[in-house]
Amino acid sequence: MLNYLWGGMILVAVVYGAVTGNIKEVGNAALDSSKDAVELCITMLGVMALWTGMMKIAEVSGLTKKFLRLARPVLRFLFPEIPAESKANDYIASNMLANLLGLGWAATPFGLKAMEELQKIHMAQGGKKGVASRAMCTFLIINISSLQLIPVNIIAYRSQYGSVNPAEIVGPAMIATLASTLAAVVFVKVTGRKEKRR
């Protein structure tokens, strides 16, 4: 998908630039933008390394484990179908923690493991193959609703482009992300109730 999106952008830029007489600017932009990307990475390197370093402290000191325990009641509320002893609980909690702290790339491996466990539960409970279980739908909807508390990337991008206060958006972002997650939870609970009635 990205193949066509990316290629399409460049093709459109060249054609439209030629038509509007901006072709020189298009050429310059290509060279400048690639340089911008490297500069941005240098800025991001600092913020990212600081963050992953702090996360390692949380992991080694047992803070991460503490969070996983705290998340249990929340998981039971969202996923009543998952047995308490299932490993899916830990994977889902780890996935959520990584997302909360703005480490999306670290969240995916846990998320995929969680899906595998959910599939096992689904099969054990006599579910159909190829059809998503209720827990899978819930997990993905909550995941896509974005649980980010500290948008690390956005803060880095903002500081690169000269924001006076790059972290200014953290508070409002929490409200926005809380609202989207709340909408997701309500949706999941309402559809869950409808299903039970049937």
Partner 1 sequence: MGFLVYLSDFCIPLLLFYMISYGMATKTDSYGAFVEGAKDGFKVTFGILPTLIGLMTAVGMLRASGFLELLAGWLAPIAKVLLFPAELVPLVVVKLFSSSAATGLVLDIFKEYGPDSYLGKVTSLICSSTETVFYTMSVYFMAVGVKKTRHTLAGALIATATGVTVSTILGGLL
* Interacting residues with partner 1 between 3 and 32 (CB under 8 A): 5-6, 9-10, 12-14, 16-17, 20, 22-23, 25-26, 28-30, 32
Contact 120, 90 (CB under 8 A): no
57 binds partner 1, rule: CB under 8 A: yes
Q: What is the distance between the alpha carbons of residues 96 and 101, in angstroms, rounded to a whole number?
A: 9
Binding piece for partner 1, criterion CB under 8 A, among 76-84, 85-93, 137-145: 137-145
86 binds partner 1, rule: CB under 8 A: no
Q: What is the distance between the alpha carbons of residues 63 and 45, in angstroms, rounded to a whole number?
A: 24
Q: In the complex with partner 1, which residue's Cβ is closer, 19 or 84? A: 19
170 binds partner 1, rule: CB under 8 A: yes
Contact 97, 64 (CB under 8 A): yes
56 binds partner 1, rule: CB under 8 A: yes
- Side chain identity, residue 105: W
Burial environment of residue 167 by CB neighbours within 10 A (0 to 12, 13 to 18, 19 or more): middle
Taking the complex as a whole, how short is the minimal distance between the CB of residue 73 and partner 1, in angstroms? 21
68 binds partner 1, rule: CB under 8 A: no
